[in-house]
Structure 1
């Protein structure tokens, strides 16, 4: 069984362009825009088991990666737990990683490990700057699509934090009831 990346009907650039305009990537781009963008990307193969992005990494973090084949585990270190991590997501073909890095080069917010062999396309900040110079309209639409994707993630994170805050409040109230019952004790009597 051949993969979409090795499709005889589509060139690798066309496959990457089609994946770039999916809902899991940048569906606000047109296919024509995506075809231009992928000409500024370079292919990358990552062997299974490779940790290719490290949480907090400050070097070599000025790129975003489009997954063409394979699965990646996105993990965060657990606070106070030496070496323990939490898998926060498993992502596959058509997903983007590192949009913030291509924009600002800030430290990476998660660790990414290749669960399988990965075929990917990388857009570096240098390539993004060339794209903006050579094709300003396409580059602007790409930046707008990346910004929208980041805004959508921020809204989703805010929704999750609100849910967590509600759960935390309910647990706190339940704990208060338990603590109040303990301070009264089983033998406490109320005056008549």
Structure 2
């Protein structure tokens, strides 16, 4: 199997494993895989910084990511720890705003990335699949927001 096809199949399997896109049909995963890329990030490496332009989102396939925010005094504190299967950075890709937090690899990480340009391309070339992916990301964000609202009330 040529290298590119092998990588494409590997990304498809990772998309299927992450559990975020359960509304996709089995064949849709292979199409979607063509728009994602795979990268390895070393422990301690910054994936993106708070305030950066959001040009890509990630799905954490393997490893741990620390999410950090800067407080009113300029000090950075950890607000979340992300583990396998978690999407992050999607807000900036969906709304075009700047990054709301800094994400740093807390171990060696394997990431699936989807660039804003790749998402736009998918919207043109495979709109049904792109719509399902965007809807799945919106549902994930909605659940996260509801959980946060519930924590605030407690």
Fold conserved between structures, TM > 0.5: yes
Measure the CA separation in 2 of the matches of 1:77 and 1:27: 34
1:72 deviates by 0.7
Measure the CA separation in 2 of the matches of 1:153 and 1:29: 21
Describe how 1:29-178 pairs up with structure 2 within 5 A: 29-58=24-53, 61-80=54-73, 82-83=74-75, 85-163=76-154
Measure the CA separation in 2 of the matches of 1:27 and 1:73: 26
Measure the CA separation in 2 of the matches of 1:122 and 1:77: 24
Measure the CA separation in 1 of the matches of 2:139 and 2:26: 17
Secondary structure (helix, strand or coil) at the match of 1:76 reads strand
Q: Is the 2:46–2:104 contact (alpha carbons within 8 Å) kept by the matching residues of 1? A: yes
5+ residue gaps, structure 1: 1-10, 164-192
Measure the CA separation in 1 of the matches of 2:143 and 2:82: 17
1:123 deviates by 0.5
Describe how 1:3-22 pairs up with structure 2 within 5 A: 11-20=9-18, 22=19
Give the aligned CA root-mean-square deviation in angstroms.
1.8
TM-score, normalised by the number of residues in structure 2: 0.83
Measure the CA separation in 1 of the matches of 2:80 and 2:22: 20
Secondary structure (helix, strand or coil) at the match of 1:48 reads coil
Q: Bigger radius of gyration, 1 or 2?
A: 1
Measure the CA separation in 1 of the matches of 2:72 and 2:24: 37
Measure the CA separation in 2 of the matches of 1:45 and 1:105: 25
Write out per-residue CA displacement over residues 120-158 of structure 1, whole angstroms, 9 at most, x where no aligned residue.
Answer: 111011111111111111111111111111111221222
1:35 deviates by 3.0
